[in-house]
Structure 1
Amino acid sequence: MSKRVAVVALGGNAIEDPSGGGKPDAARIMFTAQIVGFLLGEGYSVVVTHGNGPQVGELQAALLKVGSPLASRLDLLVAMTQGEIGQLLAESIRSVTRAECVVVLTSVVVSKDDPAFSKPTKPIGRYLDEVESAALVRQGLSVRELRVDGHRVYRQVVPSPSPIDVVELQSIRVLLEQGSVVIACGGGGIPVIRVNGGFTGVNAVIDKDLASGLLAEKLGATLFIILTSVDAVMMDYGRPSQRPIPRLSVSQAERLLSEGVLEEGSMAPKVLACAKYTRATKNDSLITSPERLRDALKGFAGTRIVEA
């Protein structure tokens, strides 16, 4: 591509109302749009990706209440939330930047033989009490018990296969070349498998950080950024000895992952996505909060993952 490309993966804190429930927050979305404007001003073409865990869970719960058969189609629920969140982001990005912004309904290829299909691990939706949890189990859904602030709670878990390819990759590339801001791979992408020369949706939710990293790699992006609720990757997270890690080589990141030091389902997939991207492209990746991105780009905040 003729311009530098930045792929920015948004965490829930860049979109959602802090009160919970996955409801969009206009002020947070507007701040995210300002970040896109800043990156455009720095000379980047920008791709924005986003999660959908709370939204897809709430949508499924609403459909279950009315007995809709769509409730069992996670691929379609991901597609619906791509449209919802993508539209909200696009409105704000257009308003702030005056740039053309296109939401691409994005399918991501997975393997039908991925072992994740027999071992649901990815949480979706909100925390549940025991009664709500039992109701989901009766409907054939998988639920995991958790301890949060000393209380027993539950959360639905679904299969999360590894992303292999992005179906709309060439379309995204063309839109970037034409100067558009692109919103893609929402919620990790609509999960599909290859069947008879085409694609069909499957019942899963792909990790959005891994899908975003794959998209960044295949686009040949100059920089991959994951925005999350903390300013940097932390050692001893949540303990008095907690401290930020300003810089990690790919080998150091992989060692932390193999040692199980990082929080599964939270920071671990983010570091894994960055390590995969940086190993494949030799370009840097960055994990930080939306509020500290400008400082992180200058090396004053965040965690930068480098080749060596």
Structure 2
Amino acid sequence: MIKELIAIALGGNMILQKGQPKTYEQQLANLRKAIQVIVDIINMEYDVILTHGNGPQVGNILLQQQAGIETGIPAQPLNVCGAMSQGQIGFMIQTALEERLFECNLKTKRVVAIITRALVDKSDPAFKEPTKPIGPFYTEEEAIELHRKTKDTYINDAGRGYRKVVPSPIPLEILEGETIRRCVKEGDIVIAVGGGGIPVARENGHFIDVEAVIDKDRATEVLATQIDADGLMILTNVPNAFLNFGKENQQAIETVSIVEMERYIEQGFFAKGSMKPKVESAINFVKNGGKYAIITNPANALKALQGKAGTRVVK
């Protein structure tokens, strides 16, 4: 039996939930609880690639950099902070997943976390218009005061509070794609594209650093397409993509075609920087040859794979 390969983008709420202490112990405890759904998917005879966001973590690392300046410690740039968060979160997912696989008698499965770079175009217009939320949530008053002090840009993130936003260029290629493909062929469970990957651009025949944060759902789609994955699953904190989200007449989107979903985007149903990139990533994956793309929450992930829950984008 040939297994299907599915790329799964883990939702940030699987790692850290709003209002929780941002400690290593709390994040690892959350992952230990949340990782069972991934083990269940593996038990359904899927090969799995896991990706993850890094918004709260990279935001906190940036705050640590700012605090260090006062004691004479040089601050690291945003892309380096992203690399730090890849190591941190990848290690936590690896730890939680290996523990659970051992408990489920799947200890022969190897789990590998790969530091991943995403190629971007340094002339991408996103560098002139920051849109990607990172870091903690603030009240409107706190955001105004922070903007006054730092000149950083803050936006209302889908009604959940105000967050700092940074440039988020479109990923063109995952540079470690072939390495990841080989690991999957060997039967490894791969953790990659953390925080969307470390952004780099090509200049004079080599790669240069750029300061940005790549949307992890867009980068997951690029990786999934590169390595010919069968499916893409984007896990988030809601069971479906919705029309009129948060309103009395909100309506869950179930199985939907590319054409229908593109029409919903044109009609402005999805929040920029929140659900919109998830929907666009789902569309692009199916357009580029993927069989299906799913948007749902962890509680509905297994049912969604069976076509009984979530939003499923097909041709």
- TM-score, structure 2 length as denominator? 0.89
Task: Give the drift of 1:162.
Answer: 0.3
Pairs aligned (count): 302
Structure 2 CA distance for aligned equivalents of residues 137 and 168 of structure 1: 40
Q: Determine if the alignment matches structure 1 residue 69 to structure 2 residue 74.
A: yes
2:95 alignment counterpart:
91
CA contact (8 A) 1:21 1:126 kept: no
**Within 5 A, what are the aligned runs for 1:84-163?**
84-97=88-101, 98=107, 99-128=109-138, 130=141, 134-135=145-146, 138-139=149-150, 141-146=151-156, 154-163=162-171
Q: Does 1:209 align with 2:211?
A: no
1:248 aligns to 2:268 (yes or no):
no
Q: Is the 8 A contact 1:50 1:208 kept in 2?
A: yes
What secondary structure does 1:66 align onto? helix
**Residue aligned with 2:304, SS:** helix
Among 38, 41, 44, the alignment partner of 1:39 is 41
Distance of aligned partners of 1:242 and 1:135 in 2 relative to their CA distance in 1, 3 Å threshold: closer
> What is residue 53 of structure 1 aligned with on the other side?
55
User: Would you say 1:187 and 2:195 are equivalent positions?
Assistant: yes
Distance 1:131 1:243, change over 3 A: closer
- Give the counterpart letter for 2:65 in structure 1: L
Contact 1:21–1:54 (8 Å) recurs in 2: no
In structure 1, the gaps of 5 or more residues are none
RMSD (CA atoms): 2.1
CA contact (8 A) 1:233 1:287 kept: yes
Quote the Cα distance in structure 2 between the aligned partners of 1:111 and 1:135: 30
Q: Equivalent residue for 1:79?
A: 83
State the alpha-carbon separation in 1 of the partners of residues 172 and 244 from structure 2.
32
1:6 and 1:282 map into 2 onto residues whose CA distance is 10
Letter in 1 for 2:67: K
Residue matched to 2:19 = 19
Q: Which moved more, 1:186-195 or 1:39-48?
A: 39-48
Secondary structure of 2:75's partner? helix
In the superposition, the TM-score normalised over structure 1's length comes to 0.91
Contact 1:257 1:268 in 2 (8 A): yes
Deviates more, 1:7-16 or 1:192-201: 192-201
Choose from 286, 298, 301 the match for 2:306: 298
In structure 2, runs of 5+ residues without a counterpart are 102-106
- Give yes or no for contact 1:120–1:142 (8 Å, CA) kept in 2: no
Q: Structure 1 residues 132, 298: closer, same or farther in 2, change over 3 A?
A: closer
